[in-house]
């Protein structure tokens, strides 16, 4: 177990879980997965640290972005955190929100699996990709723009979720 990977709300992993549930709904035609998809996507929508940018981890108690040094101690910024780790990224969340009709109609394509993506407007070199891996991921993302994934069968917000304040 790595001390800089604590029990936390995890945006990137949540996006992957939502993708899996969406694939089930799309493949089976069953909408029973949709409430969980929309609830998790709604959390991602409000958890952004800035437009098009998410922290990797959020504290269980306070819901705040969480960055850790190599020993597992909480620090204030990604720059102060353990180097060589993807503390922030878009993690494919803008493309997911677009597919679920919860985000902008224009969004970057989802990064390839294993690539955190780049925060919108990132000027910090720590947030701007990983050399050759980033170039390969960008090429794959450009190819995905030729045929973007269709809108999810779970797109749209249920009235009870909107009424409960889950969507903003």
pLDDT tens, per residue, the chain with 168 residues: 687 788 999 999 999 999 999 999 989 988 999 999 999 999 999 999 999 899 999 999 999 999 999 999 999 999 999 998 889 999 989 888 988 988 766 666 666 666 787 787 665 444 445 555 566 666 666 666 676 667 888 986 444 444 444 433
Does 77 reside within a domain? yes
The span from the CA of 7 to the CA of 80, in Å, is 20
Does 15 reside within a domain? yes
Decide if 56 contacts 87 (C-beta within 8 A). Answer: yes
Does 2 reside within a domain? no
Contacts of 41 (CB under 8 A, 6+ apart): 18, 96, 97, 100, 102
Does 72 reside within a domain? yes
Does 55 reside within a domain? yes
* Phi, psi of 116, deg, nearest 5: -75, -10
**How many structural domains comprise the chain?**
1
Does 53 reside within a domain? yes
Range of the domain at 115: 9-163
Does 168 reside within a domain? no
Does 1 reside within a domain? no
Residue 129: predicted pLDDT: 52
Tell the residue number behind the tokens 């969004």, with chain if given. Answer: 107
Answer yes or no: pTM beyond 0.85.
Answer: no
**CA dist 146 → 68, 100, 113, 143, 149 (Å):** 38, 19, 18, 6, 10
Residue 112: predicted pLDDT: 63
């Amino acid at each position: 177990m790595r001390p800089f990977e604590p029990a936390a709300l995890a945006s990137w992993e949540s996006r992957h879980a939502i993708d899996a549930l969406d694939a089930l709904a799309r493949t089976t035609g069953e909408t029973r997965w949709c409430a969980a998809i929309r609830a998790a996507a709604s959390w991602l929508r409000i958890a952004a640290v800035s437009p098009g940018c998410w922290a990797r981890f959020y504290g269980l108690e306070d819901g705040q972005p969480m960055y850790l040094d190599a020993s597992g101690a909480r620090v204030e910024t990604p720059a102060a955190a353990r180097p060589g780790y993807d503390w922030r990224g878009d993690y494919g969340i803008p493309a997911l929100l677009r597919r679920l009709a919860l985000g902008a109609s224009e969004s970057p394509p989802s990064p390839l699996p294993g690539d955190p993506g780049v925060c919108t407007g990132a000027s910090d070199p720590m947030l701007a990709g990983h050399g050759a891996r980033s170039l390969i991921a960008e090429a794959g993302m450009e190819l995905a723009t030729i045929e973007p994934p269709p809108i999810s069968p779970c797109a749209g917000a249920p009235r009870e979720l909107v009424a409960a304040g889950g969507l903003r």
